[in-house]
Structure 1
Amino acid sequence: MELQCKIQNYEWGKLGLDSTVAKLVVNADPSMTIDPNKSYAELWMGTHPNGPSLIIERDIHLSEYLKNNLDAIGPDVRRKFDVSVPFLLKILSVRKALSIQAHPSKAHAEELHKNFPELYKDPNHKPELAIALTPFEALCGFRPISQIKEYINKLPELKEILSEASVNALEQGAVDDSASLLKDVFQSLMTSEKNTIARALENVMKKLQSEDESTQSKLLYPLLKKLHSDYPGDVGCWAPYFMNYIQLRPGQAIFLGPNLPHAYLSGDCVECMACSDNVVRAGLTPKHIDVPTLINMLDYTSYQPNELLFVPQIEDPNSCIWRPPVPDFAVVKIRVESGDSYNTIVRPSPSIIIIISGKGEACDTEPIPARAGVVIFLKASRQLTLTPSDGEHIEAYQAICNV
């Protein structure tokens, strides 16, 4: 069954047809008009109440259809998640940085929702998987302590806004206490006075712009300049000196488990997550920032960038799967070449499939033209046959429950 899905026009999204979201949507429905000055940030595929998908042929929301068609969910998913699609599949097109943020664990989400329901709207966790469609930049996880120390020592403007006690402790502290030391110095940054932060940023920008290209590169000036132009004076502009700067190639992925600090910076990706809106923000945003909650929940492990890459498993010659350590979702990438035909693997779960490129036919009970941007809902324990047109291919991403 083909779905009509919700576009989110958040301010940080790519504009017009620069956006993969816009390209996919207009390719699936050529009657759509794309405004070149409007941002097309996200495409939501699922049953989330803030952007529910519609079954085109039946003209009803997918969530309504499921209430009367329990077989579509399947017994395994119903036992775990009741009558719901517990994941939200998205396409993101990022023009400027999203907020530095982390997502609470399930138990913490329940606590936050109970105590602050106006800020934390539901009791669910929000693990996320991001798979790059184009070169994709993100900040993710804390850097090794040695790198953070080096940046603090090479940037007196940064050192001046941190408490002397936290910097001294970081310099002299034991390796086995690194998480505690990192927490103290990051808390010192996040609780610094706004004017002090902004003034230090102005000073470091003036100094770095006159340095040679090699020094600018080593001290992350191009990234700092971009963040500062988008969010002038924001404490989050200092985040690259504490967090890993990751550049994903198309097909590479990161998994964002509970409490892992991250921020998407630019590019296009497929994203899948548990159905939740629980975000604790720290900077690079005009939205609510909850510093005390964030400081106390973060994962202060130091990671090397390659440790944060999430590698898929090959399932068969046409598919690979990213299977995170959560039951809510997994994501399958499918690629079918010209002259071939492929039957998707039968899953005990409903699934949502988006065609990313190519053209041909998708058939469950009835054939659907398969072209980039088409989104299909597949019932539990059913199979979809993908057949490219002559000289074409079909590439698709399938979200499933990880049960």
Structure 2
Amino acid sequence: MDLLQNTVRPYAWGSPTAIPTLLGVAPTGEPQAEMWMGAHPGAPSHLDRGAGPVPLTDVIAADPEGELGAATVRAYGPRLPFLLKLLAAASPLSLQVHPDLAQAAEGFAAEEARGVPVDAPHRNYKDRNHKPELLCALTPFEGLCGFRPAAESAALLAGLDVDGLAPYVDILRASPEDRALREVLTAVLTADRDVVAATVALVAAALERLAAEEGGSGARDPYTPYASLTRHYPGDPGVIAAMLLHHVRLQPGEALYLGAGVPHAYLDGLGVEIMANSDNVLRCGLTPKHVDVPELLRVVRFESGPPHLLRPEADGGEEVYAAPVGEFRLSRLLPVADGGPQALPGGAPRVLLCTDGRVVLRDTDSGAELALERGQSAYAGASERLQVSGEGTIFRATVAV
């Protein structure tokens, strides 16, 4: 088991205070959006086994089966198949979707064949992998996720009384749902940008009018998240696209799972996020970055349904967030009455993150111990047998093999 040194990514949407507060360090004044824990080549964690800090990618590459276990290597190859993050949003992230495995492989191969550099700003596929993900809230957390029923979206748009939205309302009311969602999203993203920008400006004015009429009573709740979008992304067609999605509020301890093809955007809050180890994102809007509309429409699943919300389920001494993927498994261990010790299952690689209090990890073979304070994390290889004790909360990220 090794203490991890992690990179914090300063994306513009990040909170300047949430991650520093958890880590117990002074804010820099700059946004701090994500802390990455794992072996993603873009920002691998480092550990020190006596010869100075070494990237976790190098540690695993030197002995894949020893670090990951034979079952993980057979299933996912000689690399850590998941990435754990702290995510702190202070403003909306881009509206986006992720491909499934077949789409990612096809898209990656096509861009490789065209000679598109992997770091090109217009490149869609950085790797061949899919990117299912799960976010567990540490604070109240808000996001947009998955298409709401077409009739609900029609009513929401109609309630703004903006002429430019009327054609979308008609389509949503008249067409079969899957076709209606596809037609409206396509129309929004391919329309003349000046025309869309003018419509979004009228949407912003309508939202302000509704807010003034309600006087803060909360009755306008369905429109609340979209006012923020118009302020952060004036004129962006993604504002209209976002109004087709469910608004989700998570309380601490609740989680949201996102599979392939599901449009989503995180809005505000601090959470623990785990995902397959990929960087494949196709954007719909709410961003100055590249939007590849034809490829996006190939990947989006035009079907409505409730967001995939998860609450922890007891499994031995852990609470598990059961996601339908094998690349990752996220569980939470809460403080026990007597402080432990409690065995941590092995057989696969693990990243352990302390989010509250203090815990002590003990290698039952060597007797070595490692204390984790709030905000600290550790890596343990598949063969290490561990116990945890202390009055703290930890998240355990591993592989579901």
Q: TM-score, normalised by structure 2?
A: 0.89
Q: Aligned to 1:309, what secondary structure does the other structure show?
A: strand
Q: Counterpart of 2:41?
A: 49
Distance 1:222 1:181 in 2: 24
Q: Counterpart of 2:21?
A: 23
Q: Counterpart of 1:224?
A: 226
Q: Aligned to 2:226, what secondary structure does the other structure show?
A: helix
Q: Counterpart of 2:81?
A: 86
Distance 2:148 2:75 in 1: 36
Structure 2 gap segments, 5+ residues each: 117-122
User: Residue 254 of structure 2 aligns to which amino acid in structure 1?
Assistant: Q
Q: CA deviation at 1:101?
A: 0.3
Q: Aligned to 1:4, what secondary structure does the other structure show?
A: coil
Contact 1:89 1:271 survives alignment (8 Å): yes
Contact 2:359 2:393 survives alignment (8 Å): no
Contact 2:253 2:312 survives alignment (8 Å): no
Q: CA deviation at 1:190?
A: 1.8
Contact 1:209 1:216 survives alignment (8 Å): no
Q: Counterpart of 2:92?
A: 97
Tell me the alpha carbon deviations over residues 303-322 of structure 1, each in whole angstroms, 9 at most, x when there is no partner.
234xx212333112x31112
CA 188–71 in structure 1, closer or farther in 2 if over 3 Å, else same: same
Contact 1:260 1:299 survives alignment (8 Å): yes
User: Residue 71 of structure 2 aligns to which amino acid in structure 1?
Assistant: D
Distance 2:344 2:128 in 1: 32
Q: Does 1:207 align with 2:206?
A: yes
User: Residue 10 of structure 1 aligns to which amino acid in structure 2?
Assistant: Y
Q: CA deviation at 1:376?
A: 0.8
Distance 1:376 1:281 in 2: 33
Q: Counterpart of 2:3?
A: 2
User: Residue 110 of structure 1 aligns to which amino acid in structure 2?
Assistant: A
1:83-232 mapped onto 2 (5 Å cutoff): 83-117=78-112, 118=116, 119=123, 120-157=125-162, 160-161=164-165, 164=167, 167-173=169-175, 177-211=176-210, 212-213=213-214, 217-218=219-220, 220-232=222-234
CA 246–125 in structure 1, closer or farther in 2 if over 3 Å, else same: same
CA 261–344 in structure 1, closer or farther in 2 if over 3 Å, else same: farther
User: Residue 143 of structure 2 aligns to which amino acid in structure 1?
Assistant: A
Q: TM-score, normalised by structure 1?
A: 0.89
Q: Does 1:394 align with 2:392?
A: yes
Q: Counterpart of 2:313?
A: 313
RMSD: 2.0
Distance 2:169 2:227 in 1: 25
User: Residue 396 of structure 2 aligns to which amino acid in structure 1?
Assistant: Q
Of the three residues 232, 240, 264, the one matched with 1:238 is: 240
Q: Counterpart of 1:60?
A: 54
Contact 1:323 1:329 survives alignment (8 Å): no
Q: Counterpart of 2:344?
A: 345
Q: Does 1:385 align with 2:383?
A: no
Contact 1:161 1:197 survives alignment (8 Å): no
Distance 1:51 1:384 in 2: 27
Distance 1:161 1:194 in 2: 15
Q: Does 1:357 align with 2:362?
A: no
Distance 1:341 1:185 in 2: 55
Distance 2:179 2:223 in 1: 28
Distance 2:237 2:139 in 1: 28
Q: Aligned to 1:336, what secondary structure does the other structure show?
A: coil
Q: Aligned to 2:177, what secondary structure does the other structure show?
A: helix
